[in-house]
């Protein structure tokens, strides 16, 4: 699968089959993530791989939606089941001290964003599915996983074989609504 095809066909997967993910496949996936670009090549990311069912269940309980997604009509985190159901869960962390901050922007968030996209595309190209889970109780998760206080937990990624393959993705805005020519709000003539 080429990169453009992977971008166009990748879907957020929240339900997984019980088929195990081979350790060598997981290592290959993480090695792909390791190759992601980062600010000043600082590579501030750190990853925890959880496979233990009881641990994944505890982590799932720390995901929530009340404050963030309840106003959008969600009663539960739609990815909560995926956290427990997936054969592997990758917890993406970052060390802000090993990244940069310039003009109020903390680049560890950018670095993890790039690594997350690499992870999702690499997983998809390998026939695996994942979804970004970004709403969780960070301090409780930190204690559960023994993560040092100076490390930020940025996201959770359940990894596994999709229970079903989604063909259609969510509607995307046309380029004409998101791309400007030369200056803000000037039409780029894209349809």
Asked if residues 29 and 116 have their Cβ atoms less than 8 Å apart, the reply is no
Name which of 74, 69, 72, 80 is nearest 15 in CA terms.
Answer: 80
For residues 131-153, give the mean pLDDT. Answer: 95
**pLDDT value, residue 79:** 80
For residues 74-93, give the mean pLDDT. Answer: 87
- Whole-model pTM: value is 0.90
**pLDDT value, residue 65:** 60
For residues 133-158, give the mean pLDDT. Answer: 96
Domains, the chain: 3-164 (3.40.109.10)
153 or 7: which leads in pLDDT: 153
Q: How far is CA 68 from CA 58, 65, 74, 134, in A?
A: 20, 5, 9, 10
pLDDT band at 102 (very low <50, low <70, confident <90, very high): confident
Please check the confidence at residue 158 and state whether its pLDDT lies above 90.
Answer: yes
**Mean pLDDT of the residues in the chain:** 90
Kindly report, residue by residue over 47-81, the tens digit of the pLDDT: 999 999 999 999 999 987 666 656 666 666 778 88
Please check the confidence at residue 165 and state whether its pLDDT lies above 90.
Answer: no
End-to-end CA, the chain: 27
79 or 89: which leads in pLDDT: 89
Asked if residues 46 and 95 have their Cβ atoms less than 8 Å apart, the reply is yes
Asked if residues 84 and 159 have their Cβ atoms less than 8 Å apart, the reply is no
pLDDT band at 9 (very low <50, low <70, confident <90, very high): confident
**pLDDT value, residue 45:** 96
Q: Where are the alpha helices (DSSP H) in the chain?
A: 3-9, 23-34, 53-61, 66-69, 80-85, 107-125, 138-145, 175-178
**pLDDT value, residue 148:** 97
């Amino acid at each position: 699968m080429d990169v453009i095809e992977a971008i166009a066909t990748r879907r957020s997967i929240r339900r997984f089959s019980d088929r195990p993910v081979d350790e060598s496949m997981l290592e290959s996936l993480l090695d792909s993530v390791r190759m992601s670009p980062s600010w000043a090549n600082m590579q501030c990311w750190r990853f925890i791989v959880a496979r233990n069912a009881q641990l994944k269940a505890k982590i799932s309980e720390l995901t929530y939606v009340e404050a963030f997604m309840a106003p959008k009509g969600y009663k539960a985190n739609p990815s909560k089941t995926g956290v427990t159901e997936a054969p592997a869960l990758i917890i993406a962390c970052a060390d802000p001290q090993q990244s940069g901050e310039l003009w109020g922007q903390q680049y560890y968030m950018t670095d993890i964003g790039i690594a997350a996209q690499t992870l999702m595309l690499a997983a998809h190209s390998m026939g695996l599915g994942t979804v970004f889970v970004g709403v969780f109780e960070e301090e409780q998760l930190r204690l559960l996983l023994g993560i040092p206080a100076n490390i930020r937990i940025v996201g959770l990624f359940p990894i596994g074989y999709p229970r079903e393959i989604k063909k259609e993705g969510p509607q995307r805005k046309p380029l004409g609504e998101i791309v400007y020519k030369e200056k803000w709000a000037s039409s780029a003539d894209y349809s």
